[in-house]
């Protein structure tokens, strides 16, 4: 069993590279407890099954379930499905996508958080094989209507309303729900692949500053807008050993959200400001901005900047 993270700078270009064999690849978005992935992978050993979820606990539960059953034709990806589809997944890589009982985000102010938006469905269409489809099952009527409207508006799918396939009825929520609403979005013609939103870089951003470290009472949580997103300096701490600071930073850019740690630690020439490898962050322009903002804050507090690379 393999668990991938979006910190993988180059996702395998084919199912064979990821699974070690040629076979149609299907994806479940939102793996929950892993019950569906286990059932599908065991029932269809001819498929390569990829599960995507951004919740660590769901990935962990599913990993343990698949490992106990010694299932070899499944892989897990911890990360955001929307960002993964648009920025990592190759075109025509998927035979089928399952979305089983997604969070309906029923409150009006939260509608933008729903996964199956028109833009996401258009992105997904270019990642499907010509015979590919998206199977959506829910017990929430408003969400079901939302999915059908967006699929029709996307212009890439024919919308069918068949009975759910047997594998979908094996999910945890299908067994609990009294009513199932099921839609099959059959690929009609794919949208043009979108330009990747975030360019990944291999450089490790850093700066070197000298002088006396400032008093932490001068720090306040602050939000900065940058290019295509925001960077939030959340908090700062002193390390248990040695001199320096540990900053907690939240960065958003084009649908990608990262919580990162930036160290200010003592070096040979002064204090080095750099990303800590905790969590294996993706190196993007947003993280470059985070390092720059912390460096500039230190300069505002009286320290001198000797060198920058961001």
The CATH number of the structural domain formed by 2-187 is: 3.40.50.150
Give the residues across from 183 on adjacent strands.
136
> Residue 45's pLDDT is what?
95
Spans of all domains in the chain:
2-187, 206-309
Q: How many CA atoms lie within 13 A of 304 on its CB side?
A: 5
Mean pLDDT per 10-residue section of the chain, whose length is 310 residues = 52 72 94 93 95 89 91 89 84 93 90 92 94 93 95 95 82 70 91 63 80 90 85 92 92 82 93 84 83 94 93
Q: Going by C-beta distance under 8 Å and a sequence separation of 6 or more, which residues neighbour residue 114?
A: 102, 103, 104, 105, 143, 146
This model's pTM is above 0.95: no
- In contact, 42 and 21? CB cutoff 8 Å: no
User: Looking at the annotation, which residues are catalytic?
Assistant: 103
> Residue 9's pLDDT is what?
41
Strands, E assignment, the chain: 2-5, 25-29, 48-53, 74-78, 94-100, 128-138, 157-160, 181-187, 206-210, 222-226, 229-237, 244-253, 256-266, 271-275, 304-309
> Residue 10's pLDDT is what?
47
């Amino acid at each position: 069993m393999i668990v991938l993270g979006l910190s993988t700078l180059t996702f395998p270009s084919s199912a064979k590279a990821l699974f070690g064999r040629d076979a149609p690849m299907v994806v479940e978005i939102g793996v929950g407890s892993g019950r569906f992935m286990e059932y599908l992978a065991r029932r269809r050993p001819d498929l390569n099954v990829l599960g995507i979820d951004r919740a660590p606990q769901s990935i962990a539960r599913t990993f343990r379930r698949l490992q106990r059953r010694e299932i070899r034709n499944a892989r897990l990806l911890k990360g955001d499905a929307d960002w993964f589809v648009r920025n990592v997944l190759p075109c025509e890589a998927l035979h089928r996508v399952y979305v089983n009982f997604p969070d309906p985000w029923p409150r009006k102010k939260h509608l933008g958080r729903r996964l199956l938006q028109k833009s996401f469905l258009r992105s997904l269409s270019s990642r499907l094989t010509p015979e590919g489809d998206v199977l959506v099952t829910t017990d929430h009527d408003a969400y079901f209507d939302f999915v059908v409207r967006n699929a029709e508006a996307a212009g890439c799918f024919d919308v069918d309303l068949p009975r759910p396939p047997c594998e979908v009825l094996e999910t945890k929520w299908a067994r609990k729900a009294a009513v199932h609403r099921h839609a099959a979005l059959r690929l009609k013609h794919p949208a043009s692949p979108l330009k990747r939103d975030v360019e990944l870089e291999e450089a490790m951003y850093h700066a070197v500053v000298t002088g006396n470290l400032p008093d932490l009472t001068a720090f306040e949580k602050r939000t900065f807008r940058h290019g295509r997103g925001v960077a939030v300096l959340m908090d700062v701490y002193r390390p248990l050993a040695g001199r320096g600071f540990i900053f907690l930073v939240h960065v958003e850019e084009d649908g990608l959200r990262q919580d990162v740690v930036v160290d200010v630690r003592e070096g040979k020439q002064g204090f080095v400001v750099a990303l800590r490898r905790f969590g294996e962050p993706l190196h993007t322009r947003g993280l470059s901005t985070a390092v720059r903002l912390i460096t500039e804050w230190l300069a505002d507090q009286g320290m001198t900047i000797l060198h920058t690379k961001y």
